[in-house]
Amino acid sequence: MSVIPSRRSVLRGAAAAAAIPFAGSIATGSAFASSPAHRPVDLGPNVLVFDPSMGDAAIQAQVDAVFAAQAPNQFGTERYALAFKPGTYNVDVNVGFYTHVLGLGESPSDVVINGHVTVDAQWFNGNGTQNFWRSAENLTIVPPDGLERWAVAQAAPLRRVHVKGDMNLMPSPPGNGWSSGGYLADSVVDGQVNSGSQQQWLSRNDTIGSWTSSNWNMVFVGVEGAPATSFPTPPYTTVDRTPVVREKPFLTVDRHGDYQVFVPALRRNSTGTSWAHGPASGRSIPLSDFHVARPGDSAATINLALALGKHLLFTPGVYPLSAPLLVFRPGTVVLGLGLATLQAVHGNSLIEVADVDDVSVAGVILEAASPRSPVLLRVGNSFSRRNHSHRPTALFDVFPRIGGAVAGGTEVSIQIDSNDVIVDHVWAWRADHGLDGTVGWSVNPAGTGFLVNGDRVTAYGLFVEHHQKYEVLWNGNHGRTYFFQNEHPYDVPTQSAWKHGNTNGYAAYKVGDHVTEHHAWGLGSYCFFNLNADIYTDRAYEVPDTPGVVFTSLMTVCLNGAGGGGILHCINNTGDPVQNGFGTFNMKSYTNGVASV
């Protein structure tokens, strides 16, 4: 398999999707849920709820109409959730941008798709490196030809699914077949997973028949059937057990038509799925306990609902907010459907979570839409350091975005000040391409992507790209990261513009100088300085040389042409340069100033 350069081209001709021509008995596209108090809840026109009685042909027509609009709609404003009530369906679901496919059962076996749930890349000539912002969850997929295809890049999770067959993670012919990273969690694949051209991948708490192929960085945590660690040849890094995690909350409907949000319980030292031995443990919250937000709701309206004790469900759409949402009640769930997108339009933050127990924030894009927000999402504050180890707050599929769709900036994308927080899949992206007028060194400025001040924070699937200072700055003690993917900013205009003190550039991942214990597994940092300005960063990773700080399976890649610059050291002042033309460097481990290569 060929190893491919990263996303280099600016999307050309991106146009907003046309209105979707719904027809037949499902024309409204709305879902009405009866709460225990028998009050209907309108989930809005972009939540399309299907049940088998509607007929496969009618369902297929609607699914196809959504895909036709969303397949090339990389920076549009349309958002959709395709929700399947328990039952069996004979349909093929192609998943385009801002499309969330979900089963509404208690178990993945409750919704069976005899067909494909597919991400491919023919909208982009077979190049899957821009297949962002889409998801599928809580389904059983029975591909008629035995092969499921999920050819994705960042921000495209596949969760809580059972694939009764094999799975391919690269696009189909014709085209170059490139793909660029992904995330599989709490899932079963009966057959073989072929990563193909995937540059990097994280699998967590899955059960797979087998795995084949690799390129740069493949990480497995708590996965039954995972290959053994063999980094760098092939670049597999396997951690037998997942130390602490809970799964993403998800929407369900019962036989009475009443909707709930199920919040899975915390698991420790786990392998395999949460549902392997029957229904997952956890708690179910009736939808009547939620404020069901729709586009047009103001920050004041939503904050009033939170203050009155409501949880929060965002229906699909874009939400311009001029003030932060304040989450201060323990146990609050903030859940987005259809990649709901919150925009900071007044130099504000978007979500502020107090230093409390057991909050969940899941399934949202956080967008900087004004010149300089201080932070997009903050958990905790600098005044409190409580222990939350028994009921940790957790973030799932949270995707900050700076530039691309709208111009804007932020000092910090995600800041974690609380202790014991679990971060389960984030992609903090300062755009390297987008609509005209939304991308440039001073057009979409972004300082640090992921800032951790709390202790005992655990991150699974940490994707952070193109920020202009430290992409990750980890000041808290006893932190753990399982998989890190990074690209340095593409558009550095001059070396003097990207320098601090006597240091060229910024490390992609810096552990604070006073940290005494930190562990990270499976890290990849890449450079592609696309202005041919001879730009260098002195190192990709920067850590204190102390026995408690251990990095395992780390790599650097240079994608520049000649004269573009590169990365001079892998970690601290150790590791060969990658520069002035495609090159890679791998290091098995680093601790206390000693490298193993």
As a whole number of angstroms, the distance between CA 518 and CA 512 comes to 10
Where helices occur in 349-417 by DSSP H, the ranges are none
Write down which residue in 193, 223, 245 finishes a domain.
245
Is residue 252 a part of any domain in this protein?
A: no
The whole-number pLDDT of residue 24 equals: 31
Is residue 130 a part of any domain in this protein?
A: yes
Q: For residue 243, what are the contacts with CB-CB under 8 A and spacing of at least 6?
A: 268, 269, 458, 480
The whole-number pLDDT of residue 562 equals: 79
Check whether residue 220 and residue 74 sit in a common domain.
yes
Check whether residue 238 and residue 103 sit in a common domain.
yes
Check whether residue 79 and residue 210 sit in a common domain.
yes
As a whole number of angstroms, the distance between CA 277 and CA 256 comes to 25
As a whole number of angstroms, the distance between CA 363 and CA 134 comes to 10
Is residue 300 a part of any domain in this protein?
A: no
Q: Which neighbouring-strand residues pair with 210?
A: 192
Check whether residue 37 and residue 175 sit in a common domain.
yes
Q: Is 371 exposed, middle or buried (0-12, 13-18, 19+ CB in 10 A)?
A: middle
Give the other-Cβ count within 10 Å of 530's Cβ: 17
pLDDT-flagged residues of the chain (< 70): 1-40, 175-176
The whole-number pLDDT of residue 199 equals: 95
Check whether residue 436 and residue 545 sit in a common domain.
yes
The whole-number pLDDT of residue 4 equals: 33
Write down which residue in 245, 278, 303 finishes a domain.
245
Check whether residue 208 and residue 350 sit in a common domain.
no
Check whether residue 238 and residue 359 sit in a common domain.
no
The 3-class secondary structure across 93-122, one letter per residue, is EECCCCEEEEECCCCHHHEEECCCEEECCH
Q: What are the structure tokens assigned to 36, written together?
A: 């225990």
The whole-number pLDDT of residue 572 equals: 98
Exposure of 390 in the CB half-sphere (CA atoms within 13 A)? 2
Check whether residue 207 and residue 64 sit in a common domain.
yes
Number of separate domains in the chain: 2
Is residue 530 a part of any domain in this protein?
A: yes
487 is catalytic: yes
Cα 90 to Cα 111, 211, 227: the distances in Å are 11, 28, 34
Is residue 260 a part of any domain in this protein?
A: no
Is residue 400 a part of any domain in this protein?
A: yes
Check whether residue 220 and residue 342 sit in a common domain.
no
Write down which residue in 224, 245, 266 finishes a domain.
245
Strands 158-163 and 135-141: parallel
CATH number of 72's domain:
2.160.20.10
Ramachandran region, residue 138 (left: φ > 0; alpha: ψ -120 to 50; beta: rest): left
Tell me the DSSP string of 146-192.
SEEEB---SS--EEEEEESSEEE-SPPSSS---B--EEEES-EEEEE
The whole-number pLDDT of residue 177 equals: 83
Is residue 327 a part of any domain in this protein?
A: no
Active-site position among 352, 367, 487, 542: 487
Check whether residue 237 and residue 383 sit in a common domain.
no
Is residue 318 a part of any domain in this protein?
A: no
The whole-number pLDDT of residue 383 equals: 78
Q: pLDDT tens, 432-490?
A: 999 999 999 999 999 999 999 999 999 999 999 999 999 999 999 999 999 999 999 99
Closest CA to 391 of 441, 356, 345: 356
Assessment of whether the complete model's pTM goes beyond 0.85? yes
As a whole number of angstroms, the distance between CA 407 and CA 512 comes to 31
Q: Which helix (H) or strand (E) holds 60?
A: helix 56-70
The whole-number pLDDT of residue 588 equals: 98
As a whole number of angstroms, the distance between CA 461 and CA 397 comes to 10
Domain that holds residue 121: 28-245
Check whether residue 214 and residue 65 sit in a common domain.
yes
Check whether residue 241 and residue 341 sit in a common domain.
no
Instruction: Please provide the size of the chain in residues.
Output: 597
CB distance 240 to 222 below 8 Å:
yes
